[in-house]
């Protein structure tokens, strides 16, 4: 059995998966106090022994194995979690091989191995919901330099006259600041799910999202782009994004057919847990 932990901004899921990746048992707790949350997780894993554990956590986190603070949550707006030794807090209770990456890294791995990118050599996974985050996998390996990518904070050129406030505290015109769910709410005064699918706000967002996807494409040329999250899932949105994406290239490069290139995840809400299972298996192999 393998343990998989998906640590999200609002909830934490911890599951036990069998040899072939079926979820056998799962608990969900609300993300609150880190010590308390980790106690719940550790207790669950002690009652349900596993061989190794994979963790995907909200960031920013330290994923550099050479770093003194490897496994820590870094400068997050969630004050209680800031500088919390996430990996260490589990390790001191359960001395097992562990894999550790971002939430989007784990979901990206899940989709790469078992989902929409299972027959591709490279894939880019992006979630556009409460925030925007992404991961890129090349030949089975997650891309990271001295730290994990922050794909939600690339600069997006605004449409002329668009002066809506950015939702990001750090950047006036970044992907997350303009396209995340709360950004849509700043723009329209309403939550995305309450807006009509033909609301013009979605047309602007589709343009911005397409610009972001084009930037990733120019730099990485992934075999496939997988987009999930509340904003991407709005009825008609992916079609709009594909249309805008096709317009942007202006025939410079031979881009794949957007219908097959920009797709939804296949594992739905389980991508992160399944990614954690893959990380756990890999961690055991690497021991």
- What residues make contact with Zn ion under the rule CB under 5 A? 153, 168, 170-171, 174, 177
Q: Report whether 112 contacts 120 (CB < 8 A).
A: yes
Give kind and range of the element (H or E) at residue 109. Answer: helix 103-114
Rounded to an integer, what distance in angstroms lies between the CA atom of residue 5 and that of residue 12? 7
Residue number, 91 or 171, with CB nearest to Zn ion: 171
Rounded to an integer, what distance in angstroms lies between the CA atom of residue 200 and that of residue 168? 22
Q: How far is the CB of 251 from Zn ion (least distance, A)?
A: 31
Q: How far is the CB of 273 from Zn ion (least distance, A)?
A: 28
Q: How far is the CB of 60 from Zn ion (least distance, A)?
A: 12
Residue number, 57 or 179, with CB nearest to Zn ion: 179
Q: Report whether 265 contacts 115 (CB < 8 A).
A: yes
Q: How far is the CB of 230 from Zn ion (least distance, A)?
A: 18
Q: Report whether 56 contacts 276 (CB < 8 A).
A: yes
Return the closest-CA partner of residue 281 out of 15, 11, 92, 99: 99
Rounded to an integer, what distance in angstroms lies between the CA atom of residue 141 and that of residue 121? 10
Residue number, 54 or 152, with CB nearest to Zn ion: 152
Q: How far is the CB of 166 from Zn ion (least distance, A)?
A: 7
Residue number, 115 or 177, with CB nearest to Zn ion: 177
Residue number, 119 or 169, with CB nearest to Zn ion: 169
Q: How far is the CB of 78 from Zn ion (least distance, A)?
A: 17
Residue number, 55 or 61, with CB nearest to Zn ion: 61
The three state secondary structure string of 248-278 is HHCCCCCCCCHHHHEECCCCHHHHHHHHHHH
Q: Report whether 54 contacts 280 (CB < 8 A).
A: yes
Q: How far is CA 266 from the centre of its chain?
A: 14
Kindly give, in sequence order, each residue whose CB lies less than 8 Å from that of residue 43, ignoring residues fewer than 6 positions away: none
């Amino acid at each position: 059995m393998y343990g998989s932990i998906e640590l999200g901004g609002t909830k934490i899921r911890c599951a036990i998966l069998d040899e072939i990746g079926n979820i056998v048992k799962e608990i969900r707790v609300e993300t609150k106090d880190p010590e308390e949350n980790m106690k719940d997780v550790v207790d669950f894993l002690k009652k349900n022994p596993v061989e190794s554990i994979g963790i995907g956590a909200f960031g920013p986190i330290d994923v550099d194995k050479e770093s003194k603070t490897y496994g820590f949550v870094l400068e997050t707006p969630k004050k209680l979690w800031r500088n919390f030794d996430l990996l260490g807090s589990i390790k001191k209770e359960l001395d097992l091989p562990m894999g550790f990456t971002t939430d989007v890294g784990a979901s990206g791995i899940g989709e790469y191995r078992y989902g929409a990118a299972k027959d591709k050599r490279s894939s880019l996974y992006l979630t556009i919901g409460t925030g925007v985050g992404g991961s890129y996998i090349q030949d089975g390996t997650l891309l990271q330099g001295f730290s994990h990518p922050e794909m939600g904070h690339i600069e997006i050129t605004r449409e002329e006259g668009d002066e809506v406030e950015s939702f990001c505290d750090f950047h006036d015109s970044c992907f997350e600041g303009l396209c995340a769910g709360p950004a849509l709410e700043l723009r329209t005064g309403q939550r995305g799910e309450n807006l009509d699918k033909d609301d013009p706000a979605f047309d602007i967002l589709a343009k911005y999202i397409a610009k972001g996807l084009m930037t990733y494409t120019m730099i990485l040329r992934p075999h496939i782009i997988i987009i999930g999250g509340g904003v991407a899932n709005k009825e008609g949105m992916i079609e709009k994004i594909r249309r805008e994406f096709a317009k942007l290239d202006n025939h410079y490069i031979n881009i794949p057919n957007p219908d097959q290139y920009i797709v939804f995840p296949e594992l739905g809400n389980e991508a992160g847990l399944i990614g954690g299972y893959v990380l756990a298996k890999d961690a055991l192999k690497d021991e």
